[in-house]
């Protein structure tokens, strides 16, 4: 027999917390357990003044970037819309059901005033990578922090070339472009982008036999594919 769902449950009141609604195996829980975001404060401290009104917590701004990047959301504007209705994202940011999520324009203003033309994103990435190594997520079979080169089982004469550029900078460029579009829509003057400046690319040789290795020269030693 066909049944029909009763939609009265939409108005049901229940004694629940946001924590009750976020699955224990959700990625945001794993990130929260593995990473203490207090490290962000000293990284961004120099970009804040002791005067003026209290700002949005910088950890919130960086966590919004995490959410966009990790969950493949196409823009920061869309990310903020998703956070507004996604319980797991609210939990990750530390927001209650009723707290208002920062508007995209607020995010843009904070970014332009504080983080633009800084190495904040790169510094955060470097710190997280260091913590990943310490936690054993990056094993010493593939990476040595003392710059010791571990020779790879690969022919140094057989490789393809790949053009790469810094991932953090690439994301930052996309974010700045989005912020500029929002400023134009709001009738505001966009901040200046150095359009004549070419994106810095570096040529990287990729071994056909062992693509995970890198192409290195150390001291007087010959060039070789190795792990560093």
Q: Where are the domains of the chain?
A: 16-138
- Token readout for 161 is 């070339």
Give the Cα separation of 105 and 180 in Å (integer).
Answer: 10
| pTM for this prediction | 0.62
Convert 7-17 to b/e letters by CB count within 10 Å (16 or more is b). Answer: eeeeeeeeeee
Q: Higher-confidence residue: 10 or 97?
A: 97
Planar angle of CA 39, 70, 89, nearest 5 degrees: 80
pLDDT attached to residue 17: 92
Local confidence band at 193 (pLDDT 50, 70, 90 cut-offs): low
Cα separations (Å) of 166 from 125, 149, 163, 216, 225? 11, 22, 11, 18, 21
pLDDT for residue 33: 92
Compute the CA torsion angle 107, 109, 111, 115 (nearest 10 deg).
Answer: -150
Contacts 24+ apart (CB under 8 A), 43-47: 43/120, 43/123, 43/124, 43/127, 44/114, 44/115, 44/120, 47/113, 47/114, 47/115, 47/118, 47/120
Q: For residue range 134-184, what is the model confidence (pLDDT) as tens digits?
A: 777 665 454 444 444 444 444 444 444 443 345 566 666 777 777 777 767
* CB-based burial, 198-208: b 16+ in 10 Å, e otherwise: eeeeeeeebbe
What CA–CA distance (Å, rounded) separates 59 from 61? 5
Of the ranges 4-13, 193-202, 215-224, which is most confident? Answer: 4-13
Cα-based distances in Å from 142 to 131, 150, 164, 165, 186 = 16, 8, 20, 21, 48
- Between CA 206 and CA 2 the distance in angstroms is 59
- The region of weakest confidence among 24-38, 119-133, 158-172 is 158-172
The least confident of 92-96, 140-144, 204-208 is 140-144
- DSSP characters over 167-210: HHHHHHHHHHHHHHHHHHHTTPPPPP--TTSPPP-EEEEEESS-
Residue 130 pLDDT more than 90?
no
């Amino acid at each position: 027999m066909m049944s029909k769902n009763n939609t009265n449950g939409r108005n049901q009141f229940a004694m629940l917390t946001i924590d009750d609604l976020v699955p224990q195996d959700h990625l945001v829980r794993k990130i929260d357990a593995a990473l203490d975001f207090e490290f962000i404060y000293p990284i961004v401290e120099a970009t804040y003044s002791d005067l003026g009104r209290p700002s949005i917590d910088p950890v919130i701004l960086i966590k919004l970037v995490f959410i966009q990047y990790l969950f493949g959301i196409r823009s920061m504007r869309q990310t903020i819309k998703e956070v507004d209705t996604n319980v797991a994202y609210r939990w990750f940011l530390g927001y209650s059901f009723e707290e208002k999520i920062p508007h995209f324009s607020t995010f843009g203003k904070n970014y332009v005033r504080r983080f633009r033309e800084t190495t904040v994103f790169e510094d955060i990435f470097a710190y997280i990578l260091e913590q990943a190594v310490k936690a054993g997520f990056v094993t010493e079979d593939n990476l040595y922090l003392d710059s010791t080169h571990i020779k790879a089982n690969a022919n140094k004469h057989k490789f393809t070339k790949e053009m790469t550029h810094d991932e953090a900078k690439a994301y930052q460029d996309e974010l700045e472009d989005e912020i500029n579009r929002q400023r134009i829509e709001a009738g505001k003057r966009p901040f200046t982008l150095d359009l004549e400046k070419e994106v810095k690319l570096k040529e990287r040789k990729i071994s056909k036999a062992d693509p995970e290795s890198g192409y290195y020269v150390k001291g007087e030693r010959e060039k070789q594919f190795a792990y560093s």
